[in-house]
């Protein structure tokens, strides 16, 4: 059943052209149901990040999709964003929650660590991300096993997100034990992001 499928949590590319990406994002949001977008920029240029946040917020909110920004807690209220995604596990969750209040979204990336995920949830995270699910040469090389998602889904109420180097086969295998798939480069690195996302969604069924 479609309503039982995991939801899509879309990651932006680490860099993008403000003239090209927002219309492309709008086409993707118009074609597929997306629950949330993460502004996941690599840039440390404050002006560039702020301009990107404003541009993506306009598109996200036109489509009634929540927008969180990676790590930059100070920009959430200033730019009318819906929350923050923290890449340092549980360490900043309490501080972000105190800063942003109870209504904001606060999420945490916890790698492959069940303990880190549980700590983040106890600290007030609205969701916990585990990954990378697929094989990648980036990061520490630690990958969460399917058993982690299975255990979490059965034991913990905090929503769980699977992300990182996803393929159709991995989506198919993980769909029964995750609430969200965080999808970014898997579609933006293709010639047809709308079609690529459609293929990953079809693999959930």
In total, how many domains does the chain have? 1
What pLDDT does residue 4 have? 80
Domain with 103, as residue range(s), is: 2-204
User: What is the average pLDDT across 170-176?
Assistant: 97
The count of other CB atoms within 10 Å of the CB of residue 187 is 23
- 197/178 Cα distance (integer angstroms): 17
Mean pLDDT of the chain: 96
Q: Can you say whether the dihedral through the CA atoms of 15, 50, 39, 90 is positive or negative? A: positive
Q: Residue 107 has what DSSP assignment?
A: E
- 167/26 Cα distance (integer angstroms): 23
pLDDT in tens, 82-134: 999 999 999 999 999 999 999 999 999 999 999 999 999 999 999 999 999 99
pLDDT in tens, 125-171: 999 999 999 998 777 778 999 999 999 999 999 999 999 999 999 99
pTM: 0.96
- 96/72 Cα distance (integer angstroms): 10
Task: Calculate the dihedral angle through the C-alpha atoms of 40, 43, 44, 49, rounding to the nearest 10 degrees.
Answer: -70
Does residue 3 register a pLDDT over 70?
A: no
CATH of the domain at 40: 3.20.20.70
Q: Where are the beta strands (DSSP E) in the chain?
A: 7-11, 36-39, 66-70, 83-86, 105-109, 127-130, 160-163, 180-183
Q: 3-class DSSP state for residue 181?
A: strand
Does residue 1 register a pLDDT over 90?
A: no
What pLDDT does residue 115 have? 97
């Amino acid at each position: 059943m479609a309503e039982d499928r995991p939801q899509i949590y879309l990651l932006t590319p680490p860099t993008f052209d403000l003239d090209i990406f927002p219309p492309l994002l709008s086409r993707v949001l118009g074609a597929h149901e997306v629950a949330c977008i993460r502004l996941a920029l690599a840039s440390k240029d404050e002006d560039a990040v702020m301009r990107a946040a404003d541009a993506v917020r306009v598109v996200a909110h036109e489509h009634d999709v929540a927008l969180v920004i990676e790590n930059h807690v100070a920009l959430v209220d200033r730019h009318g964003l819906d929350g923050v995604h923290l890449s340092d596990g549980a360490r900043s969750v309490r501080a972000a929650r105190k800063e942003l209040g109870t209504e904001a979204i606060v999420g945490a990336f916890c790698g492959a660590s069940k303990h880190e995920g549980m700590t983040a949830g106890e600290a007030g995270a609205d969701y916990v991300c585990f990954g990378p699910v697929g094989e990648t040469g980036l990061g520490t090389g630690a990958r969460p096993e399917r058993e982690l998602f299975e255990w979490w889904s059965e034991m913990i109420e905090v929503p769980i997100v699977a992300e990182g180097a996803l393929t159709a086969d991995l989506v198919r295998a993980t769909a029964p034990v995750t609430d969200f798939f965080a999808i970014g480069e898997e579609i933006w690195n293709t010639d047809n992001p709308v079609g690529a996302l459609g293929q990953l969604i079809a693999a959930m069924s």
